[in-house]
A and B are shown apart, each in its own frame.
Chain A
Amino acid sequence: MTVSLRRDAPPAGSGAGRGRGPAPQPRSVRLLNKIKKGGLPYLFLLPALLLELLVHFVPMIFGILISFKQLTLFFIRNWTGAPWAGFGNYHLVVDVHGAVGSALLHSFFVTCAFTVLAVGLSWLFGTVAAILTQDTFRGRAALRTIFLTPFALPVYASVIIWAFMFQYNNGLVNELLHNVLGITSRPSFWLIGHNSFFALVIISIWRNWPFAFLCVMAGLQGIPRDLYEASAIDGAGIWQQIRRITMPSLRAVHQVLVLVLFLWTFNDFTTPFVLFGASAPSPADVVSVHIYQASFINWNFGEGSAMSVLMLIFLLLVTAAYLLGTSRRRGENA
């Protein structure tokens, strides 16, 4: 033990060790110091880099490899020995006439609709709430705490609470819509059938709008006060100020916020998984759960990985297009 410790010791302080050597060459010492200095930031980054490689990048490369393999339960014990499938998995999952492909396409459209609705409304609620709480008034601090609570709860706990509220017999939603307000003539099923899509959207909004609120609130603090004072002297009312000063100033915040919300919502696994389990009802069958089912329930990892890779490519393309588009527009307006 002691021996190995001693052996490990030199690399950490190698520069100092050699510097103290019998006849130090001034030039080499300088060079060593330079390397030490130049290498220091890399040394600081090393742990972060290694961990990201281990957990994100290497598995992702393996994931891409697996998508070209015929990896089923049969080969899982010896997964490197699974036969290559070429583009077989990809052919299967993009063939919209086949069962697997058409199910994936349906799932993709469901995810897009879910993402657009959930991101749009989360963004809207968060922005409106942040702008309305920009001025000081009584109870503002309490409101902020209330608004942030949904974001603070663990996701699975929130989804479980909502699942209870959406129950057919004993849930709050049916009690409210049917018995109290009388909007629906009969209680509805929320966790199966078409309503399950809306249940998913509502939960996602409830969970994410506080994050939009938080970001816009932070963005509002960066707007100089003089802008408002100057415009007030010029006779601008509060609605005009919101339209002409607040909204344009928030553009940079909105650019990042919408992107982050998009990626979170599109990739969201926890909400549908806790709400529906491993197999979601068809109207709410979003891609993440769809892939989970293909991989861990049907034990076809090659297919599941091919789907994941396609999903990642889609996300990369959308992100690149979005950043290009919004940056250009920002450039034009500046």
Chain B
Amino acid sequence: MTEITQLLQRLDAGDPRSAEELLPLVYEELRKLAASKMAREAPGQTLQPTALVHEAWLRVAGGTAPAFHGRAHFFGAAAEAMRRILIDRARRKSAQKHGGGQARVEMDDWEIAGPAPDEQLLALDEALGKFAMLEPRKAELVKLRFFAGLTTEQAADALGISEPTAKRWWAYARAWLWEQIRAAA
């Protein structure tokens, strides 16, 4: 907990390495959260990324009431963590599907509802990687909205931009990514 709070504060102070250190922690937190939820929920139930991320945030930040930017950066980290979880899972499932006679590949004991079918998710992630090289901030917006499930307003807050700007970015990102996916297909 305190470690996370410290990391958040360092993030606010502009230390770029803190995000790299924060990520595994958030990732771990999300996994634990999902696992404990699954234990209680009926089998087959899927969990929403948004709900998970929000709950992870409450657990991670606890009652320390961190400053706004801490929260914003947390969402950035959580979005990245969520993306990794979902992409890893999609890759594994895809490999399992195409792996022929392979026996059951070890799967996580929990299931998160992906925002899209696996192949499409992978295609999007690939395009997003290219987009991030050209437009890192807009790629961040896509992660926040798509992987962390934030609304435009929340994502704009997290990025410190206005909502109209977020909408313009989103339009551009959507067109760009779509164009890229089509070209690749």
Q: Do A and B bind each other?
A: no
Interface residues of B, Cβ cutoff 8 Å to A: none
